[in-house]
Amino acid sequence: MFNLQSLLPIFLSLLAGLSTVIGAFIVFFSKSGNKKMITFALSFSAGVMITLSFTDLLPTAEKALSEHFGIFTGIMLSLLFLIIGVLIAMLIDLFLSSEKEYSSSKNQNNNLYKVGFVSMIALMLHNFPEGIATYISGYQNISLGINLAIAIALHNIPEGIAIAMPIYYSSKSKGKAFKYTFISGIAEPIGAIFAFLFLKPYINDLILGVIFALVTGIMLYISFEELIPEARLYGYNKLYIFSLVLGICIIPISHIFQI
């Protein structure tokens, strides 16, 4: 049970997951309250999430579901689970908004903090099945597992920015920024360990496809409802467009390593 073939994929998922924390290091090179940096980070993160959804998650979901149910049904199911993911994100958003209403604090950074917190939840849900996929791939073919871990690590870095920046600028706490980023990243090796202990005989592309479609909906909701409106709030429209496009370009670059 405990052999190199089983343990190495867990180690790969650990490295890939903790690369999320690298994104948090940007807090050391930015001044708290820098509105240009907030605009850059939020719109860059939105570009990353949107592109990741449409180039990685949704195509993976469609392929997996289409192989089991046929192309038409597979695509319709992908869209159905995407919509369910959006509804889940909306419920989370409503819950956090109602909690904020009962808070006695009038801190104007509450909304920015909520953006970071919801992003952490979404990326945890993304990283957990991603860890499962890394483990299964690495267990079956270590070369494939290594390539996948490298690609995941590259796009986990900007994902870390998506969490760390809103948390840091709203709370002024580097500790909180690292904590929430770490929680998101550690979900990846936890997913790998879960696959190692329980799912190895049962996990299949169908289950991963459903999960990835749900996460697509959650990430799209966060991007269009939270990140983009908050980024545009500060009025740096050219910077917003530039960083959004830069975020869009990062994920295809990471595909170079996904051989």
* Mean pLDDT of the residues in the chain: 78
- What mean pLDDT do residues 170-179 have? 82
> Taking residues 31-37, what's their average pLDDT?
64
Mean pLDDT of 96-114: 55
Tokens of 144: 């494939």
The pLDDT value recorded for residue 118 is 76
Residue 72 confidence (pLDDT) above 50? yes
Candidate from 47-61, 131-145, 217-231 with smallest mean pLDDT: 131-145
Instruction: Read off the pLDDT of residues 181-203 as tens digits, 9 standing for 90 and up.
Output: 898 889 888 988 888 887 666 66
Cβ atoms of residues 42 and 231 within 8 Å:
yes
Alpha carbon distances (Å) from 104 to 32, 118, 168: 24, 21, 21
pLDDT at residue 160 is higher than 50: yes
Q: Collapsing DSSP states into helix, strand and coil, what is residue 74?
A: helix
Measured CA to CA in angstroms, residue 250 lies from 24, 209, 229 at distances of: 17, 23, 21
Answer for the pair 159, 23: CB distance below 8 angstroms, yes or no: yes
Q: What are phi and psi of 173, to 5 degrees?
A: -120, 115
How confident is residue 99, by pLDDT bands cut at 50, 70 and 90? very low
As a whole number of angstroms, the distance between CA 216 and CA 58 comes to 6
Q: What pLDDT does 123 receive?
A: 78
- What is the share, in percent, of the chain residues with pLDDT greater than 90? 10
How far is 172 from 247, CA to CA, in rounded Å? 24
pLDDT of the residue at 105 = 43
Task: Spell out the domain ranges in the chain.
Answer: 4-24+35-257
